[in-house]
Amino acid sequence: MSTFQLGRYALSTSQPQVMGILNVTPDSFSDGGQLLAGSAVSRGALLRRAEAMVQAGASILDIGGESTRPGAEPVSAQQELDRVVPAVEMIAAELDVAVSVDSSTPAVIRAAAAAGCDLINDVRALQRAGALSAAAESGLPVCLMHMQGQPGSMQQAPSYDDVVSEVAAFLRQRVSVCEAAGIERQRLLLDPGFGFGKTLQHNLQLLNRLGQLRQLGLPLLIGVSRKSMVGAVTGRSLEQRLVGSVAAAQMALQQGAWILRVHDVDATMDMVRLCRAVWSEGDDVDG
């Protein structure tokens, strides 16, 4: 069995893995309970949501303190630290699950590593000043994601000649930069960044040809859960995108994606179990 070392955990690369999304922004958790240090997030509510995701089958939880949605307001490094670090400490101590931190901020990367996180998930692919050395020094694996532009303006006029080859070229170049900075290839995961500086057509082309990114030779993480591409195709509101999100995730798995970053762990795990059951019959030909 081949594995990828995600901090404290060696995860099988021959089995799809599900990463649950845990946003620790003030609007996400407000049940009036005891708050995480320096943040507006309730400790109990966060732990309950995290536990439910682990129970449902998530092997990784991705903790984020800054929204990267198009047009979202940036937060200060201190706000991000206040939100993310206590959450990482608590989940790493209380639950048997790999902890990922969704951040581009060097101070957050360092503090999260010290607090026990297992993966850095950077939508800016370590391009922010100081992020590359912070990640290199952490010794942790990193997910490098493609984004054209910045969250505030990335959906204004995304443009590519060929989105798949341009995303591939960008990711290849970031892998070289990481290797030169001392982050070994075997610590890297790649993500095409659905919805990040891409039109609906770009997103659909990327999903249709996702298998081409396997040629980069590194495991793929993808996030399509509840994204606008699912809404645009199905005509569904944010809360009604479960079926479309699971279908899109299945198409990604079928083309070799390894980690699915999702809001709905339960439903995604049903799909993953079905895929595993079908694929496990693939090798035997007994008439």
Nearer to ligand 9MG, 47 or 101 (CB): 101
Q: Is the dihedral of CA 137, 143, 148, 150 positive or negative?
A: negative
Are the C-beta atoms of 238 and 231 separated by less than 8 Å? yes
Residue carrying the six token digits 């594995």: 3
Is position 261 annotated as part of the catalytic site? yes
Is position 110 annotated as part of the catalytic site? no
| Nearest residue to the partner ligand 9MG, using Cβ | 223
CA pair distance 73, 67, nearest whole angstrom: 8
Which strand (E) or helix (H) includes residue 148? none
Nearer to ligand 9MG, 233 or 279 (CB): 233
CA pair distance 31, 41, nearest whole angstrom: 9
Nearer to ligand 9MG, 101 or 113 (CB): 101
Give least dist CB 280 to ligand 9MG, A. Answer: 28
Nearer to ligand 9MG, 47 or 260 (CB): 260
Alpha helix (H) residue ranges in the chain: 43-56, 77-94, 106-115, 131-138, 163-180, 200-208, 228-234, 242-254, 265-279
One-letter amino acid at 236 equals R
Residues that bind ligand 9MG (CB under 6 A): 64, 68, 102, 121, 123, 143, 145, 191, 193-194, 221, 223, 261
Give least dist CB 143 to ligand 9MG, A. Answer: 5
Nearer to ligand 9MG, 35 or 155 (CB): 155
Give least dist CB 141 to ligand 9MG, A. Answer: 12
Nearer to ligand 9MG, 72 or 169 (CB): 72
- SS3 per residue for 4-72: EEECCEEEECCCCEEEEEEECCCCCCCCCCCECCCCCCEHHHHHHHHHHHHHHCCCEEEEECCCCCCCC
SS3 96: coil
CA pair distance 100, 105, nearest whole angstrom: 14
Give least dist CB 287 to ligand 9MG, A. Answer: 43
Residue carrying the six token digits 């990481």: 178
Question: CA dist 264 to 18, 50, 135, 150, 222, Å?
Answer: 10, 12, 29, 26, 14
CA pair distance 283, 279, nearest whole angstrom: 8
Side-chain-side CA neighbours of 191 within 13 Å: the count stands at 26
Give least dist CB 257 to ligand 9MG, A. Answer: 11
Give least dist CB 255 to ligand 9MG, A. Answer: 16
Catalytic entry in 83, 187, 226, 227: 227
Catalytic entry in 8, 261, 273, 276: 261
Supply the residues annotated as catalytic.
227, 261
